[in-house]
Amino acid sequence: MAEITAQMVKELRTRTSAGMMDCKKALNESSGDMEQAVELLRKKGLKDAGKRADRDASEGVIHSYLHGGGKIGVMVELNCETDFVARNEEFQGLAQAIAMHVAWANPPFLNREEVPSEAIEKEKEVFRAQLKPEQEKFADKILEGKLDKFYAENCLLEQLDARDPAVKKSIGDLITDATAKMGEKIQLRRFVRFELGGA
């Protein structure tokens, strides 16, 4: 069986707009065959979710969640295309799941695009300082992997769902799945987390 590399997963994501874990799973199921993996995702309806990316999602909810007896408060803005889906029980449940995750994980950023370039450079400096001399020739690949891990830990859309990390679905994957299931573009626009006594 062919080794499934990060580059293969990235390529499949680019082609299908499916979630990272779904792409990895499809590549594993197809033994690394890219075309077969695309077909697997298409059959699951996830590929179609990407086609909705350019649609306008101006409906939705601003969902609030209080945790720890009111010591932590979270608000998330989850958008969709129609008021009908916004009132849907599953859509509301997704907003609640995301808000609960934010309360627990306290992510500093929504996605990679929000991470300031100075924060990325700082991380790269730390990673470079940790490199052993024999790793120098693989430095770029190692740095790429370390940065991917940094994003997975700090960007909400890339964090694994805190309710069941064993399932290995990111918050972004949950949104992609919901888009495929509900037939509308679903987008997490922003979030805010308050903690009593916090900055």
Residues 6+ apart with CB under 8 A from 76: 62, 63, 65, 95, 98, 99, 102, 188, 190, 191
Burial of 68 (0-12, 13-18, 19+ CB in 10 A): exposed
Cα Rg of the chain (Å, integer): 18
- Name every residue whose Cβ is closer than 8 Å to that of residue 32 and which is 6 or more positions away in sequence: 1, 2, 3, 4, 8
103 three-state secondary structure: helix
* Chain segment 132-191, per-residue pLDDT in tens: 878 777 878 888 888 999 999 999 999 999 887 777 889 999 998 888 888 888 999 999
Q: What is the dihedral of CA 130, 133, 138, 140, to 10 degrees?
A: 50
Q: Please give the pLDDT value at position 11.
A: 84
* pLDDT tens, position by position, 63-75: 999 998 889 999 9
pLDDT tier for residue 109 given thresholds of 50, 70 and 90:
very high
Note the helical H segments in 30-163: 34-44, 46-51, 83-86, 89-105, 117-130, 139-154
Domains of the chain (ranges plus CATH)? 6-51 (1.10.8.10), 59-112+155-195 (3.30.479.20), 116-152 (no CATH)
Average pLDDT score over the chain: 86
**Is residue 96 scored above 90 in pLDDT?**
yes
**Binning pLDDT at 50, 70 and 90, where does residue 53 land?**
low
Q: How many residues does the chain have?
A: 199
